[in-house]
Amino acid sequence: MSATPSSGAASRGGPSRRTRRGLDALNFTLADVRDGLGPYLAIYLIAVRGPGEGWNEATVGFVMTLAGFAGLLAQTPMGALIDRTPNKRAMIGIAALVVTLCCVVLPLVSNVYMVAATQSLAQIAAAVFAPALAAITLGIVGPAAFTRHIGRNEGFNHAGNAFSAALAAMLGYAFGPMVVFWLMGIMAVTSIAALWRVPAHEIDDNLARGLESNAAPHAHAPVSAWQALLSNRHLMLLALLAAIFHLANAAMLTSIGQQLTYIVGKDSATSLVALCIVAAQCVMVPVAILTGRSADRFGRKPIFLVAFAVLALRGVLYTFSDNPYYLVAVQCLDGVGAGIYGALIPVIVADLTRGTGRFNVSQGAIATAQGVGAAISATIAGLIIVNFSYAHAFMVLAGIAGLGFVLYLLLMPETANTSVSQEVSTGSAA
């Protein structure tokens, strides 16, 4: 049941204790579901299926790229749908079930095209999670407290990732790569339970769209992602930067997982990749929370530049050694870059769309752009690895991150500035 425009928690002075805890639990339990199999997909296909069934780095890269493109094509309609519907909780629940089912049936599917189809459907459903969670948060806490609460969301999301990855690391050696399928099913069930602890009546649907709480019900009719982007040059630039960040970042952990498979074997590789994820996620928790608490004080731009700089450094450091424990240590830097990115992107989008009613569709546009970067990343890295080496692939990814740093430094304004926010909300930045 939807809430009336003025019935949200923000209009009553803030969310209840039950709602805050429900939102925390939802972000924690969805962590293992929203990314699907992630890097474990590459390990499973290479280590379990292997060359005998036609799987290598290039084939895996093809499947991940195809699934990534399917997901990014879904971002535009998903963002528009989230703007239009008050049933955001139901969308999250259905998406969680679809992603989980598409992943747990993977051991029963052998054909390359069937694997690509199931993972593509999972990516399409996963397009719901990030914008819907951000919209629900904005609808509950309002714009004044949004920055801090997005950092809190990301902190619980990373803690959930660390928890599930730690379980995978402990159980992976004994049970092999199949353990990740069991964990995903368990976390999906718990996420559905957490979802119902976030009361619908505390979500202000107008605030969740980026409008004022007392706006007319049909004010600012929803627009397409293309219209949202083309009406705001700063949003267009942010989309480009999001694509560059994911073009550099998406293939790094996947490539490390593939490299570890050859160095230590499939069972140990599963545990080591899980350890990589745990290490990075443990770093992301305080980084995301600190980012949420600092972005209003110090601004978005200097903090985001740190994310690009650390991402470039990480790519370079991967080339210094193939010692598995060294690679795990370097992977900790992912916690800095990804922790900052996840906490700041919704905040910057909210800055650039304040008062327009286009918050969610604009999130969809940014997610589409970052999806393009992530999808291409897997193919680029796979081809470079097959034709050259892992070191060459990491250096290329580091160079792409460096390009993103320069573009953000020279072209992107500080969106926390009040005049910038007012300018873009009125459309004068077009």
Name all domains of the chain by residue range, CATH numbers in brackets: 17-197+222-425 (1.20.1250.20)
Question: Residue 164 in contact with residue 32, Cβ under 8 Å?
Answer: yes
Q: Which of 83, 311, 100 is nearest to 188 (CA)?
A: 100
Question: Residue 29 in contact with residue 160, Cβ under 8 Å?
Answer: yes
Angstrom distance (rounded) from CA 251 to CA 62: 12
Q: Which of 107, 94, 101 is nearest to 122 (CA)?
A: 101
194-to-18, 22, 227 alpha-carbon distances in Å: 11, 6, 35
The region, left, alpha or beta by phi > 0 then psi within -120 to 50, assigned to residue 215 is beta
Angstrom distance (rounded) from CA 33 to CA 29: 8
pLDDT of residue 399: 96
Q: How many helices (H) and strands (E) in the chain?
A: 18, 0
366-to-257, 286, 383, 415 alpha-carbon distances in Å: 27, 25, 26, 16
Q: Count the Cβ atoms, other than its own, within 10 Å of residue 52.
A: 6
Percentages helix, strand, coil for the chain (3-state, rounded to 5) are 80, 0, 20
What's the predicted TM-score (pTM) here? 0.74
Q: Count the Cβ atoms, other than its own, within 10 Å of residue 309.
A: 17
pLDDT of residue 6: 43
Structure tokens at 389: 């080496």
Q: Tens of pLDDT along the chain (430 residues)? A: 344 444 556 555 567 788 888 899 999 988 878 776 666 677 777 766 666 666 777 777 788 778 877 887 887 788 778 878 888 888 999 999 998 888 888 877 777 788 888 888 988 998 888 889 989 998 898 888 888 888 889 889 888 877 877 777 677 667 766 677 777 788 888 888 888 888 888 888 888 877 766 555 444 444 555 665 677 889 999 999 999 999 999 889 888 877 887 777 766 776 777 777 778 878 888 999 999 999 988 999 999 999 999 999 999 999 998 888 898 889 889 989 989 998 999 999 988 888 777 788 888 888 888 878 887 888 899 899 888 988 999 999 999 999 999 999 999 999 886 444 444 444 434 3
